[in-house]
Chain A
Amino acid sequence: MIFDRHPSPIELSRAVSEGPSRKVAAHLQRCATCAGTLAEWRDIDSLARELPSLRTSAERRERALAAVLREERTASAPQRARPTWVWGSLAGAAVAALVLVVGGSLLTSQPAPPPVELAQGPTHRGTIRPHAGARFTLESGAPDEVVRLHEGTISVDVEALRPGERFRVIVGDGEVEVRGTSFDVTAMGDSLAKVLVDHGVVEVRAGSRQVVVLVDGESWEATADRGVEEAPIDVPVPSPKRRPVAGPPDEPAPEPTVGAASPEPPSVDPAPPRHPMAELFDRGWKQLRDGRPQEAAQTFGEALSKYPADPLAEDASFWRAVALVRAQSSKEALGALTSFLDAYPKSNRIGETSALLGWILLGKGDVDGAEARFHAAEADPVPSVRASAQKGLEAARAMRHNQTAPR
């Protein structure tokens, strides 16, 4: 039996996807119109199946999984009682004795130190218990709260963060990011040495090593996770040496928080003698933060020419390029970014640098070059860099499209 009518769109559509029924097949044999439509739709389908799929890095997926687990743990776990030492720190007159108000200054804990919270000024979600000998600074408050740990161990308790808020402990060569959790971080020689999670979920990003997600009771130690990382660089002074997963290039560093006035200055480590390279680096960074990128570029350039083999040379090279970008010296910036990529192919700033370079190339109309750079930044572990690369690729596509569109 055959159809004495054309198949309905539903029948034809189903025939394309799941094969024709006997009746439809018979009709198709004698109806060129329906057979043609079927063939066209099959062509459309097979073309669509060739479209490239989004490829995501395992690291990105692990981050998403960590977020899911945090969400579900928060939803299912009973509210954990805050440690008594936190409540103690909030109690009346005792607050004055327990609360240290700090700016960007370095804190050095004494034996048996009290927990540290900021009483006024920016909102802080974390409470810190420094262990004896720990040296750290509170760099900024919510929504992007940053604690800079230079040496020793701190125990951290972070209350539930609000949407969009972050809490990070940054060490010279890595950082630990958490949401609503309690953990210990240890630094040795300004290098991330150990992380121990009491409860919650913590992401450990140590240099160029793979991101590690830790949950309740788990720990991470640098000595057990050497990965492809070379030996930690010994930097003689605490400095803004690396910002492994800091924000986009237009935000060079979290501004140190200036706390409420304190009658007593915080205790500060006796400053070791400063290396001239570190002095130059800090000067350049300050100039950049003060909105003087041209001067900053010159200072970083001076630092590089005088101390090209210094451990800070990589960062000086990167920030010189950033300063030139900000100074809108695109030709020089192009050279500086390219030099950085050539000189430090293993840097954890490769993605950031590639994205910057991509935008400059796009501005010059070099769509192919720009796309190549954006692709190099696509899988960067820093979300803002990935987003910049993605936007860059979209802009490149649009530019290519406009170049080829009929006029």
Chain B
Amino acid sequence: MDVSRTTLRLDPWPPEYDSAVQFADLESESAGTVNADVETRDWQPIQPDSVGDYEEICFVDGVRRIEARVIADSHDKMIHGLFGSIGVGAVRVRAASASFTGITVDRFLILGEGLLQKEQIEVGEHTLVFEGLASAQNSPIELLGELQNLMRTREAQLGKVLSSQNVCVFADGPLTYFASTRDEVVGIIKTIHIPYLTQKHFSVVGRLLPGQRTPLFAIEDGKYNRYSWFLRLAVGRKLDHILAGVIRLEVRAALGLESARRIANFAAHELPRFVSSPARDVRAPQNLAPVGNLETELRHRLGDPLLLRRGIEKKLLEGVQA
């Protein structure tokens, strides 16, 4: 019996990144109206030769961690909560030097059903303050969403501070959280779940060579109108799927088409040199080397999870015994 089989290709990211990725990126990827003709009608890979005119590039990123989940003793009701930490920071690249900047760590005690409580946890000689945050929600996944929101908001704040005429800021994920529409901030979406484009247009993505981008297309959902494009950073292995090594970038539509094109060309020219290798980062090449190191640094700054957990347990025990 002759059965033609479908060729399967590998998504090279380890499966454990799935949940986080989807959670992070799906939030704004509901496609509105897509207009593929904003830059050109002739859809071909574009190889930009402009060097761009930014003096500095910043990569903004954040990490979050649940230190402990709790359930509040509140009458007959089950109220979920969590102790969470978030770290946000950036890598500043100027000439031939890269350094960390603007790293902050914040900690929260998020409780459902509008319950607000702040906790001070003793770890060694230090007192860590977990700020209280009351959530209207009450499911564990929704509370995690709150923590994610806090992280995204802080990333956006840092991105806004860093952005200026001479600085191009690359943020992690879509630009949903950026309140201002005029900052020259570029969102990098590392995993592509929705093609946005028609089959005809999307086929160009598969033909991109490293350093090439697609023409810009507009995504208009009435709320966060933006220009977007695909960029190939590197070529994946033969068994990797066609989009391994491709990222989607976006800028706010309010910047104007000309600025968007300039930024798109700059990104296509600059980003491939920051590509990581699979030996260094399992999420290579999409997860750029500076971002990978920033995440490691941020996780490190969150502190030792075991120590924090012990501190929280001690505090909770005191509450139980009181």
**A and B associate in one complex:** no
